[in-house]
Structure formats: C-alpha cells, structure tokens
A and B are shown apart, each in its own frame.
Chain A
Amino acid sequence: MKPVPFAYHRPASLEEALALLERYGPDSRVLAGGQSLVPALNMRLAAPAALIDINRLPGLDGISLEPGGLVIGALVRHGVVEDSALVARHAPLIAQAMPHVGHRAIRTRGTVGGSVALADPAAELPACLIALDAMVRVAGRGSRRDIPAQRFFRGIYTTDLAPGEIVTAVVVPPIGPGWSSRFAELARRHGDFALVGLAAHCRVDGGVIKEARLAFCGVGPAPVRAVRAEAVLSGRRLDPDVVAEAGSALDADLDPPGDVHGSPALRRHLARVLLARTVAQIVA
C-alpha cells in the first residue's frame, strides 16, 4: 500500500504554511505527527496533491502556564504530554488519557494538534477537551480564533476549522478547587480505539457530585457531552437508583454507531457501565 505521488513542502514559518494552505486549498493535507494521516495515505484513502509538513514551525511545541490557563502547543507530542509535570498538575484528565492513545511509538510522533484537527470519533483527547471546557486556538491568514472545544468538534473528521486554518494550540482553563477528573475507556486490546471512552471532570463536595462534565468518545460522530446524565447526577448523592437513572438519561444523550466491533446497543450498554464505574471512582 503505497501513497499516491504528492508534492512536499516544509514551511519554516506559520505565515509560509498558511500561504501554502491557501495556494493548494482542499488538495493539500497538513502533516504533523502523521500517525493517522500516513496510514490514510498508505491506503490511498487520502490522495492529496501536496503535503504541508508543519513539524518545523517554531513556537508550537511548548507547554506553558498562562493566566488564561495551560497552553499546549499543537506540535507537542502525545509522549511529551504523557510525561509532562505541568499537564499532570494542571490538566490531570489529559494526563490520564494519554497512555490510552495507541502505543509508545505512536505517541512519540502523534501530536495534540493533529488529534484535535482530525477529530476521530473514538479519540481520547477531543473528549477530554470538551470535559475541561478547553479552547482550541486556530490560525488562518490574517486571523486568529479561539474556539470552545464544545463547538469545535462537529462530526466524523469534521471540525470548525475553516479552509486555510490550522490548529496552533489548546488552552485548558484553570481548574478550580474541588474538581476531580477521571478518564476511563473500554477496549478489546490495550492501545486499541475505545469501544467507549469517558472523560469525566466533576466538582465533588462531601461525597456529592455538585457539577459534572461527562464527555464520551466512541459513541457518536463526535465526542458527546452527556448533558442529561450530568443533570441527573448534579447535586445528588450517588446510590444505585441515581446511577440507574443517570444511565437511562444517558441513553437519550447518545446515538452510537454500529460497526464490526459492536452494535449501537452494545455501545449504549457499555457507556452506562462506564458511567456507573467512573462516577463511583470519582466520588470515592
């Protein structure tokens, strides 16, 4: 499986990259980590006229703490996020999710920006960003935008990115006191795409979930904030009835796909199980 022939550009600056994007339009693809793009190229599912390799763009591979929150540059590798003390401290949900992303060799190359821009429905990071109310920072020629994650992920491989824009960073707002997070997923094998994943970020007080942010991946075209389930859980002490009620509410939140790995019914069921187990762990 060899890719189609394509031109290759390696811009040295963001402006150069954006100019190339504008020049090629939809006939180009941005190459960052390549861990999703290159398989697609190998299978000829992607057949661009040009590849714009952004790996040399300066200033996009840092993790820093700013007043607005934790800024993770688009070119930061998953492996660096996984090992980062700053992320562990200021976005523990993301740190918990990283070991589930593929395998070590994938995480060496795969990038935060790439995962966000690809918007695979089973990907862990988009769900984490939604649960954390994060922003996706985007740059186009002469424009800079910050887009709430909740709005950014629109559907299967579909985001709010306009033609000619690239993701430059994600920004996770400061986490207030009392918030605790847990990432969990169910998969057939270690490192596989999740059958169902849950990025849970909750404010817990005295054993009661005061506020819940529950973002599921693998259960729809895009990560889903389970708002009905969140509403059921908010302000209530967990008991089996409450959890069951949240599970029923979750059914209305989700519209999972069927594929060779499982039917919609399976994913609904697993989402309910994951919900029950994860909130129990968060409260404990």
Chain B
Amino acid sequence: MDEAFQISLTVNGVAVSRSVEPRQSLVDFLRYDLELTGSHVGCEHGVCGACTVRVDGALVRGCLMLAVQCDGSRVETIEGIAGTGEVFDLQQAFAQENALQCGFCTSGMLLTAQDLLARMPGANAQEIREALSGNYCRCTGYHSIVEAVRKTAEARRRA
C-alpha cells in the first residue's frame, strides 16, 4: 500500500539518493537512513523544536515534514552547519555561558538562534526569548541561552 518513493536531495552539501517510505518523517530519515543523529526527536507534535533543521535555507520542524517532501531540496543539519563554521561564535558563547546541559535541545537552539540573528541582527533580550519560544529546554531555564545569543548578537554588531 505504501510503495517506496525515490528521492534525491542534498544533505549538508552532499548529494543523496534514497528510497523512502512516504510516511517517514524528515528527521527520522536523517537520523536512521543517513545516521545524522545530531537532530533529535522530542515530541513528534511540532512543539518542542528538538528536530529543527534547515530546508532550502529556512527553519523547519523535521518531525512535521515527510522525507518525500524534500525531494530536490537542500537540507542542512547541525553536523553540516557546525562543520562550516557558520555558528562558531554562537557555539563559543553557548559554551562560555553554559547555555546547554544535557545537549538534547542544543542543535535546535543553535539553528533557531542563527536564523533569528540572520533576520534580526539587532534583536533584544525579549525578542530573543520570543524567537526561541518554540524550542523547549528542560535543563537550563533559558536564562543562559538568552545571554549567549544576546552576547553573540552584540559581538556580531560590533564586528
């Protein structure tokens, strides 16, 4: 009843061609078929943000897209983004502020923060809080994450 569908896409700059079940989510495809386990599954409701990835440059919930929908798309995960150095300053700030404890929300937080700073370089603390309000963290209470993003924004503006 659910025939496999052939998809071709690029993931972190690498061309990928696979046969997938239509019902498989993008994040499950990334985690199990491509073994890119840096994106995580926290709810499969689209609420917690742990699965956040980039598709065609835009922020997306990996649990709310089907892999088949990414045929022809450009997908970026934390592994690729960390590898290019694009979020190096954010990562440094997160480490300095201890803006992560268990690390499960971290890839989603980094991608969301990076997307915010790209759209709103002048974001203040409240705007940062609102932009991150779709990413659940149970460990930090958010204070240090907001600090890390705020400090990075400031540093980028100064640079």
Contact residues of A with B, CB < 8 Å? 1-8, 10, 31, 34-35, 38-39, 41-43, 49, 51, 53, 55, 79, 102-106, 108-109, 189-191
B69 and A103: CB pair below 8 A?
A: no
**Alpha-carbon distance between A63 and B46 when the two chains are bound, in angstroms:** 27
**Alpha-carbon distance between A31 and B22 when the two chains are bound, in angstroms:** 12
CB distance from B143 to the nearest CB of A (A): 17
A105 and B61: CB pair below 8 A?
A: yes
**Alpha-carbon distance between A102 and B64 when the two chains are bound, in angstroms:** 13
Ordered nearest first, which 3 A-B pairs have the shortest CB separation? A103-B134, A8-B22, A5-B2
B133 and A190: CB pair below 8 A?
A: yes
B3 interface hit (Cβ, 8 Å): yes
Contact residues of B with A, CB < 8 Å? 1-3, 5, 21-23, 25, 28, 44-46, 49, 52, 55, 58-61, 63-66, 68-69, 71, 112, 115-116, 130-131, 133-134
**Alpha-carbon distance between A105 and B55 when the two chains are bound, in angstroms:** 10
Q: A5-B21, A35-B64 are in contact. Are A105 and B69 (CB under 8 A)?
A: no
**Alpha-carbon distance between A49 and B22 when the two chains are bound, in angstroms:** 11
CB distance from B108 to the nearest CB of A (A): 9
B112 and A105: CB pair below 8 A?
A: yes
* Complex partner residue of A38 from B1, B66, B115, CB under 8 angstroms: B66
B49 to chain A: which residues have CB within 8 Å? 103, 105
CB distance from B106 to the nearest CB of A (A): 16
Q: A39-B46, A105-B61 are in contact. Are A6 and B3 (CB under 8 A)?
A: no
B2 and A38: CB pair below 8 A?
A: no
Nearest B residue (CB) for A53:
B69
Nearest A residue (CB) for B64:
A38
A8 to chain B: which residues have CB within 8 Å? 2, 5, 22, 66, 68
**Alpha-carbon distance between A281 and B75 when the two chains are bound, in angstroms:** 44
**Alpha-carbon distance between A169 and B42 when the two chains are bound, in angstroms:** 34
B131 and A104: CB pair below 8 A?
A: yes
B23 and A5: CB pair below 8 A?
A: yes
B55 to chain A: which residues have CB within 8 Å? 108
* Complex partner residue of B134 from A6, A10, A43, A104, CB under 8 angstroms: A104
Nearest A residue (CB) for B61:
A105
